[in-house]
């Protein structure tokens, strides 16, 4: 089967729906119709029990009973009413599909819809459903029932998709490693700005004036004590 997006009608700006998406829509519609007809099945089972033994209690049309005919009409009405008044069905709406006519207006009349959903679908289902399988190979993705009624199944509302670009994550800033200061080699070393860079051997301790007076006073006291001790020794 071809891709669902392969075929486009450029003049009308539409995209034809392919085989698989139409099959998915049909399965959804069949499930919905089955649930809606559950009540009809229960009622018809009671009616057939009451009509057992009569002309309406057995096969009416070939091997079809009254119950089969009623259920078929209920399912056909589901597709006819939805397609005629909304241009789509719940299953097609889920898959974003709708049925259009090849005419300029694109609207579907009641006769076309009835013919498409009854005779057209019946002819498409014979011979191993070949009328549906040709949707996958036809240029405009038409089934046999579409060819008979000049209808197309196209995508409905177009959704504009904006590409999403991932934001580049900021790389963490690496902090440069802090290395310990290497010891200075040689006789000089760095000192505070108030000090001077001098050789250790040339460094002379600074003596403040008060300290010099104290040293001089101490030296005088030591000299007097020495003279007194010498005088005492002479007297002895």
Q: Give the pair of three-digit tokens for residue 169.
A: 């994550």
User: How many C-beta atoms lie closer than 10 Å to residue 161's C-beta?
Assistant: 6
Question: How long is the chain?
Answer: 236
pTM: 0.60
Q: By C-alpha distance, which of 185, 188, 206 is closest to 197?
A: 188
Cβ atoms of 16 and 152 closer than 8 Å: yes
In the chain, where the domains are located: 8-155, 206-235
* List of the chain residues with pLDDT < 70: 1-12, 104-106, 158-173, 178-236
**Parallel, antiparallel or unpaired: strands 97-101 and 8-9:** unpaired
Q: How far apart are CA 102 and CA 82, in angstroms?
A: 19
Q: How far apart are CA 172 and CA 176, in angstroms?
A: 12
Q: CA end-to-end span of the chain, whole Å?
A: 143
Q: Give the pair of three-digit tokens for residue 198.
A: 């001098």
DSSP three-state, residue 135: helix
pLDDT, position 182: 61
Cβ atoms of 91 and 64 closer than 8 Å: no
Q: Give the pair of three-digit tokens for residue 111.
A: 């006769």
Give the HSE-up count for residue 233: Cα atoms under 13 Å, Cβ half-sphere. Answer: 6
Q: By C-alpha distance, which of 174, 121, 137, 99 is closest to 19?
A: 137
DSSP 173-188: PPPPP-PPPPPPPSS-
pLDDT, position 85: 92
């Amino acid at each position: 089967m071809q891709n669902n997006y392969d075929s486009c009608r450029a003049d009308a700006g539409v995209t034809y729906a392919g085989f698989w998406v139409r099959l998915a829509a049909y399965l959804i519609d069949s499930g919905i119709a089955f649930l809606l007809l559950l009540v009809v099945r229960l009622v018809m089972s009671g009616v057939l029990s009451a009509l057992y033994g009569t002309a309406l209690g057995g096969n009416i049309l070939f091997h079809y009973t009254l119950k089969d005919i009623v259920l078929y009409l209920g399912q056909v009405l589901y597709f006819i009413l939805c397609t005629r008044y909304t241009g789509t069905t719940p299953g097609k709406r889920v898959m974003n599909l709708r049925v259009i006519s090849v005419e300029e207006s694109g609207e579907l009349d009641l006769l076309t819809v009835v013919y498409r959903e009854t005779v057209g679908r019946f002819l498409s289902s014979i011979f191993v459903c070949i009328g549906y399988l040709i949707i996958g190979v036809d240029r405009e993705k038409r089934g046999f029932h579409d060819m008979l009624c000049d209808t197309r199944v196209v995508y409905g509302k177009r959704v504009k998709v904006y590409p999403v670009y991932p934001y580049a994550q900021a790389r963490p800033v690496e902090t440069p490693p802090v290395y310990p200061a290497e010891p200075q080699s040689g006789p000089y070393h760095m000192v505070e700005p108030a000090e001077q860079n001098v050789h250790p051997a040339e460094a002379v301790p600074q003596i403040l004036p008060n300290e010099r007076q104290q040293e001089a006073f101490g030296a005088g006291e030591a000299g007097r004590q020495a003279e007194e001790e010498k005088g005492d020794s002479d007297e002895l």
